[in-house]
Structure 1
Amino acid sequence: MVWGFVIVILLVLLINYGIKDLISKHSVKIPGPRKLPFIGSMQVFNNRKPEDVLNFVYSLNLRYGKLFCVWIGTRLSLFCTNTRDSETVLSSQKLIRKSELYKFLVPWLGNGLLLSTDQKWFNKRKILTPAFHFKILEQFIEVFDRQSGILARKLAPEATGKLVNIYPYVTLAALDIICETAMGTAINAQTDSESKYVKAVTELSYLLAGRFVKVWQRSDFLFNLSPDRRRQDKVIKVLHDFTTRIIQSRRQELLESGAQGLAGDESIGSKKKMAFLDVLLQATIEGRPLTDKEIQEEVDTFMFEGHDTTTIAIAFTLLLLARNPDIQEKVYKEITEIIGTDLNTPVTYRNLQDMKYLEMVIKESLRLYPPVPIIARKFTEKTTIDGKTVPEDTNFNLGIILMHRDPTLFEDPERFDPERFNPERTMEQSSPYAYIPFSAGPRNCIGQKFAMLELKSTLSKVIRHYRLTEAGPEPKLIMQLTLKPKDGLEIAFVPRT
């Protein structure tokens, strides 16, 4: 009976992967945990809590080196924390396919920039680049300033010098910012707690996180049988209906106003304030306008990538400033020298560009707490890694957070030291691939300039209003595509005035 079951499993594996493929993968001589027939190295992950995963990967890195492999069933996964192999993969124009873990996002994001690949990705990247032209980014500063002002007011009742979880406040502010800049529509997340859209984003984030925690839900077949699949469908419909309604309404407005395309327009962004959506509505692929579905995928992608990652960056930077009052005061001094002490003075694009020390602080925060701690690719062809030929269909995981804390790349890596990024100081790392909070190569983050402006605007607003007096305990970190504090993130603060 048992042997019959084993033979059936073996036949299935041979049909799915082929004898040559299985032999090819198992012939790769890369160190890693012991693998068992059929289940691979999965036993090493058994009973791991979400908050243990990063530490566990770190322990494997210490044991097996900066390139090791783990077998998930018959699937070969490499984990890399060295700059040489990172550069090989990230600099490639061919190795741009995302790994299988990103499939959880497909029902929401479809085939947008984050999840598309090959020529489709290149086409999307080309048409989206104008959305991040500095003249358009400059127009977003008013949104950043206004929404961060609302955040400062919402924090006022908590400014008692007692520890408070700031993560929910920052999340809603980031959601307001990204929605208004992406779609040109305010959802008032910070002031309207009953917003259906806000509730849907919150619930979908929870459901997606569940698919990482509940290993059995990683199987589409089993997930589709669960009540969570029905809940997911319901909230995604709310999100898609909202963005579709906004797209159709804005498209009609543009048709009625006779708006011209952006191609070759030297006055890009100089007439009326343009949202990310407006650029998409006026863009073309091979001479045709984008469909509502294609635009929806890009807007939803921008919403997902824009609110979650900036929330993480803002919250952890505030935590580090609360722990380091001397650095916090240097930031405050720079801000007031540039803007003044009047809390009602709006920030400008030039103001944010001049905040050089705050930028160093943000970069150091992103080193210690990169919002995307591990990025992953799926090889679509044979690739040479560490002098060894690795077969296609291999997953390649790059441990950014481990590289950023590698003592061979950064001296005293656990210390918060913004001066590492002083342009007048020679950078410590020997490779441009040692520090990659926005990834690197052709598939780097298209919105990193947008993100830096938003971070500067929001952080400068909070620091102008409040002195951070205490930091809570080190948060337990969990990884769900992005880095999350498991139980929130606590700081204490009092009014500057």
Structure 2
Amino acid sequence: MIYRYMEPWLGTGLLTGGGNKWRVHRKLITPAFHFSILDKFAETFAERADDMVHILEDKVSKGYFDIDAYVTKCALDIIAETSMGKRVYALKDPKSKYVDAIVSLCEISTRRYTNPIWANDFLFKFTKPGKRFFDDIEYVNGNTLKIIEEKRAQLEKTKSTIRVDELGRKERLAFIDILLTTQEPKPFTDEEIIEQVNTFMFAGQDTSSITTGFTLFALGNEPEIQAKVHEELDSVFQGSDRIITPQDIASLDYLDRVVKEAMRYYYFVPEIGRCLTEELVLDGHHIPVCTTVILDLYELHHNPEHYPDPYKFDPDRFLPEEVAKRHVYAYVPFSAGPRNCVGQKFGLRNAKTMIASVLRKFKVKSRDKPQDLRFYIEGLLRPQGGLYVALELRK
């Protein structure tokens, strides 16, 4: 039901759409997140994460600061480059109009369902946030349409040649390139490409940034676990400052478990909604078609039946032998079934690259304890006031 507040921006893309159009597009887009494609994104993940690390060097030994602000901008840089093939310089340019528009659209669209005036489509248009909302949509869509036209012209010129960038390097693949070159069963229209790119921008930067921020915050409260992550990173990189590769990320088994435990523990996706397409009988109760059902992921991921001592941060819950003991749907941070998150591998690899980049260079200490955090909703649950950490340069 709440998806309708996002439709002026996201249209009927993979998040908000349904029916036959959704099924066709889901089938066409799923291969875009195959491991072979993600490997081509890996260099962008690593380079933009290194940009963030260089900026964070100025924070060393200067007290606590909000890490959430930096990982959010880094994630925006990554998602823009991998979705559109364009740099937006969110980390380096605080006045970027495009970045400002994306952040504003996220805020306004997800707050509409908590404000009765904003929730009314007619009244919303006359509010100041409503006018800003539709102005931002026009700007973002116009920017994406311009990129579509540029990319289409490039494709026409380079059908028989290798595409190179302005530095003479082989040009990197972007999500928009995949959409533009999809021809079967029929090409995507410009409107459909804009919908999917906007959806990718919204969902991709949000999940990657918040996973990264909360994992670093968790490790800042768990020095022994952080030390194990440092030990694993040192065993892989051997003191080298070389760029992180897909093979490195695949070998970081302990970090993988840490990230999964952070996603369980901090419940920044607290619930999932579904509209029933057929009657459901649950514990003898008949729930009719078209009812919205909310799945409470917070309770699921803190259920002591599945997770003994659920408020203890323990990455070893995700050892293969421990996972095998649990019900297959006891852990669903990316949802499950046919409408699960198509970009979950992208999000996890992106977050692990950002986390590994930070921890190769720094030790992290958190100012607050998990029980001290308070949240507000903006698509996902975000920490009020940010996630404050201090950095110490590793020797």
Tell me which interval the TM-score lies in, with the shorter structure as reference length: over 0.9
> In 2 relative to 1, CA 408–479 (structure 1 residues): closer, same or farther, beyond 3 Å?
farther
CA distance in 1 between partners of 2:322 and 2:126 (Å): 56
Matched, 1:134 2:35: yes
> In 2 relative to 1, CA 375–285 (structure 1 residues): closer, same or farther, beyond 3 Å?
farther
Matches within 5 A, 1:248-267: 248-258=149-159
Select 2:293's aligned residue among 396, 403, 415. Answer: 396
Q: C-alpha displacement at 1:125, in angstroms?
A: 0.6
Partner of 1:460: 356
CA distance in 1 between partners of 2:160 and 2:226 (Å): 46
Contact 1:171-1:311 within 8 A present in 2 as well: yes
Q: Which residue identity lines up with residue 94 of structure 2 in the other structure?
A: S
> 1:261-313 CA deviation, whole Å, 9 max, x = no partner?
xxxxxxxxxx8631111110111352x21111111111110000000111110
Select 1:175's aligned residue among 56, 71, 76. Answer: 76
Select 1:336's aligned residue among 221, 228, 234. Answer: 234
Partner of 1:232: 133
Q: C-alpha displacement at 1:408, in angstroms?
A: 2.1
Q: Which residue identity lines up with residue 134 of structure 1 in the other structure?
A: F
> In 2 relative to 1, CA 495–223 (structure 1 residues): closer, same or farther, beyond 3 Å?
same
Q: C-alpha displacement at 1:493, in angstroms?
A: 1.4
Partner of 1:281: 180
Partner of 2:164: none
CA distance in 2 between partners of 1:366 and 1:428 (Å): 19
Partner of 1:3: none
Matched, 1:477 2:375: yes
Partner of 1:148: 49
Select 2:4's aligned residue among 91, 96, 103. Answer: 103
Contact 1:161-1:494 within 8 A present in 2 as well: no
Select 2:215's aligned residue among 317, 325, 344. Answer: 317
Select 1:439's aligned residue among 335, 345, 354. Answer: 335
Matched, 1:489 2:387: yes
Contact 1:169-1:190 within 8 A present in 2 as well: yes
Match of 2:151, SS? helix
Q: Which residue identity lines up with residue 391 of structure 2 in the other structure?
A: F
Contact 1:364-1:421 within 8 A present in 2 as well: yes
CA distance in 2 between partners of 1:114 and 1:414 (Å): 31
Q: Which residue identity lines up with residue 453 of structure 1 in the other structure?
A: R
Matches within 5 A, 1:178-193: 178-193=79-94
Partner of 2:194: 296
Q: Which residue identity lines up with residue 213 of structure 2 in the other structure?
A: A
Matches within 5 A, 1:323-362: 323-342=221-240, 344-362=241-259
Q: C-alpha displacement at 1:194, in angstroms?
A: 1.8
Matches within 5 A, 1:114-129: 114-129=15-30
CA distance in 1 between partners of 2:222 and 2:99 (Å): 33
Q: C-alpha displacement at 1:406, in angstroms?
A: 1.4
Contact 2:106-2:379 within 8 A present in 1 as well: no
Q: C-alpha displacement at 1:368, in angstroms?
A: 1.2
Q: C-alpha displacement at 1:241, in angstroms?
A: 1.0
Contact 1:284-1:290 within 8 A present in 2 as well: yes
> 1:68-107 CA deviation, whole Å, 9 max, x = no partner?
xxxxxxxxxxxxxxxxxxxxxxxxxxxxxxxx11111111
CA distance in 2 between partners of 1:255 and 1:301 (Å): 26
Q: Which residue identity lines up with residue 247 of structure 2 in the other structure?
A: R
Q: C-alpha displacement at 1:126, in angstroms?
A: 0.7
Identity of aligned residues (%): 37
CA distance in 1 between partners of 2:57 and 2:247 (Å): 28
> In 2 relative to 1, CA 278–371 (structure 1 residues): closer, same or farther, beyond 3 Å?
farther
Q: C-alpha displacement at 1:258, in angstroms?
A: 1.9
CA distance in 2 between partners of 1:349 and 1:327 (Å): 23
CA distance in 1 between partners of 2:379 and 2:112 (Å): 11
Partner of 2:120: 219
Matches within 5 A, 1:64-83: none
CA distance in 1 between partners of 2:26 and 2:260 (Å): 25
CA distance in 2 between partners of 1:138 and 1:196 (Å): 30
CA distance in 2 between partners of 1:282 and 1:209 (Å): 32
Match of 1:284, SS? coil
Contact 1:379-1:394 within 8 A present in 2 as well: yes
CA distance in 2 between partners of 1:118 and 1:149 (Å): 41
Q: Which residue identity lines up with residue 276 of structure 1 in the other structure?
A: F
Contact 1:113-1:125 within 8 A present in 2 as well: yes
CA distance in 1 between partners of 2:121 and 2:278 (Å): 25
Q: Which residue identity lines up with residue 85 of structure 2 in the other structure?
A: G
CA distance in 2 between partners of 1:380 and 1:136 (Å): 34
Contact 2:182-2:188 within 8 A present in 1 as well: yes
CA distance in 2 between partners of 1:259 and 1:310 (Å): 36
Partner of 2:165: none
- TM-score w.r.t. the length of structure 1 is 0.75
Give the ranges of 4+ consecutive aligned residues of structure 1 lying more than 6 Å apart after TM superposition.
Answer: none
> In 2 relative to 1, CA 495–194 (structure 1 residues): closer, same or farther, beyond 3 Å?
same
> 1:178-208 CA deviation, whole Å, 9 max, x = no partner?
1101111111111112211011112222322
Match of 1:334, SS? helix
> 1:390-428 CA deviation, whole Å, 9 max, x = no partner?
112211011112210112221000110000001144545
Give ranges in structure 1 of 5+ residues lacking alignment. Answer: 1-99, 261-270
Q: Which residue identity lines up with residue 338 of structure 2 in the other structure?
A: P
Matched, 1:202 2:98: no
Q: C-alpha displacement at 1:478, in angstroms?
A: 2.3
Partner of 1:449: 345
Give ranges in structure 2 of 5+ residues lacking alignment. Answer: 162-169
CA distance in 2 between partners of 1:316 and 1:361 (Å): 11
CA distance in 1 between partners of 2:324 and 2:65 (Å): 36
> 1:319-357 CA deviation, whole Å, 9 max, x = no partner?
100000010010011011111212x31111111100000
Matched, 1:415 2:312: yes
Paired residues, what number?
385
